[in-house]
Amino acid sequence: MASDAKKVVEARGVVKNYGDFEAVRGIDFDIRAGECFGLLGPNGAGKTTTVKMLCCVLPLTGGEISVFGMSAGAHPREIKARVGVCPQENNLDPDFGARQNLLVFSRYYDLPKAEAARRADELIKRFRLEDKAGVCVEDLSGGLKRRLMVARALINDPDLVVLDEPTAGLDPQSKHQIWDEVKALKGAGKTVLLTTHNMEEAQLLCDRLIIVDLGAIIESGPPGEIVARHAADSTRPTLEDVFLKLTGKQLRE
Ligand SMILES: Nc1ncnc2c1ncn2[C@@H]1O[C@H](COP(=O)(O)OP(=O)(O)OP(=O)(O)O)[C@@H](O)[C@H]1O
Ligand SMILES: [Mg+2]
């Protein structure tokens, strides 16, 4: 991808404090149009905090994030209209079925009823949830719930799709289904921000990534380049080896 590609996200000197605790300590990164950008790091690195600031649900303590050229602080409504988010924690409505969850969520976007219904049906089909369209979310497996959450993130046909650990804890089949969906999103020209602990996932899907630990960026670049930079340390280094070397920590998966 050309380095002068249009920037969808620009983060400059981003800081987030929770009380006295510095969760994000001045990070800078850009996300280019059409790429899958990875945010990789161990538990507590500050990934979800960063995602929440970018999605305008958490104010920054310092620095600046612009999304589609608009400041996250000044234009949350306009940004939210063009971003789709699959949060780390399940926040589906447990009392509703899959289709109803999509319809209820569509109300945030002022979609005409008929258009919302059309999109919900399309997503139910695309994510192979037809058999479960009317089943209470409470009764769905973890993999199906996650698939529904990714589907829900697309109800507004977003230009930027943010997936916070979309495959954590999933079986290999469910994981592959979500990987295929991320590839399809990229194929459709969408920009994707993916947070993950999964090295295989990062290497497979991400065009570029940052490795974050304790709220700071410790490595960045295309996965292949990051591995190559550390190639002298091992005969067959992987992103996982690099991560261990840099952080002294093993990733969760
Ligand atoms: N609301 C909050 N109040 C206080 N501290 C918080 C809050 N939210 C997160 N933190 C702390 O900020 C740090 C970063 O948390 P964050 O959830 O962003 O990490 P993460 O990289 O997403 O981790 P994980 O891989 O476990 O999801 C952690 O130490 C966490 O305990
Ligand atoms: Mg998190």
Q: Is residue 1 in a domain?
A: no
Q: Is residue 97 in a domain?
A: yes
Residue keyed to tokens 């058999």: 131
Residue 102 confidence (pLDDT) above 60: yes
Q: What is the residue with the minimal CA distance to atom 6 of ligand 1?
A: 18
> Given the CA of residue 252, which atom of ligand 1 is nearest to it?
25
What's the confidence (pLDDT) of residue 234?
Answer: 60
Q: Angle 98-106/113-126 helices, nearest 10 degrees?
A: 140
Q: Is 34 in the pocket of ligand 1 (CB under 6 A)?
A: no
Q: Is residue 67 in a domain?
A: yes
Q: Name 194's bridge partners.
A: 38, 163
Q: End-to-end alpha-carbon separation of the chain, Å?
A: 29
Measure Cα distances from 135 to 27, 114, 129 in Å. 42, 22, 10
Measure Cα distances from 45 to 50, 101, 196, 249 in Å. 10, 31, 11, 11
* Phi, psi (degrees; rounded to nearest 5) at 113: -55, -45
Q: Is residue 2 in a domain?
A: no
Measure Cα distances from 68 to 12, 53, 214 in Å. 14, 14, 27
Residue 87 confidence (pLDDT) above 80: yes
Residue 62 confidence (pLDDT) above 70: yes
Q: What mean pLDDT is predicted for residues 6-34? A: 98
189-228 pLDDT, tens per residue?
Answer: 999 999 998 888 999 999 999 999 999 999 999 999 998 8
pLDDT band at 233 (very low <50, low <70, confident <90, very high): low
Q: Containing domain of residue 129, as a range?
A: 7-247
> Given the CA of residue 41, which atom of ligand 1 is nearest to it?
21
pLDDT band at 243 (very low <50, low <70, confident <90, very high): confident
Q: What residues have their beta carbon closer than 5 A to ion ligand 2? A: 47-48, 88
> Given the CA of residue 88, which atom of ligand 1 is nearest to it?
27
CATH number at residue 209: 3.40.50.300
- Comparing CA positions, the residue from 69, 26, 65 lying closest to residue 46 is 26
116-164 pLDDT, tens per residue?
Answer: 999 999 999 999 999 999 999 999 999 999 999 999 999 999 999 999 9
What's the confidence (pLDDT) of residue 2?
Answer: 47
User: What is the CA(23)–ligand 1 centre distance, in A?
Assistant: 7
Q: Is residue 113 in a domain?
A: yes
Q: Is residue 253 in a domain?
A: no
Contact indicator for 161, 190 with CB cutoff of 8 Å: yes
Q: Is residue 28 in a domain?
A: yes
The structural domain count of the chain equals 1
Residue 253 confidence (pLDDT) above 80: no
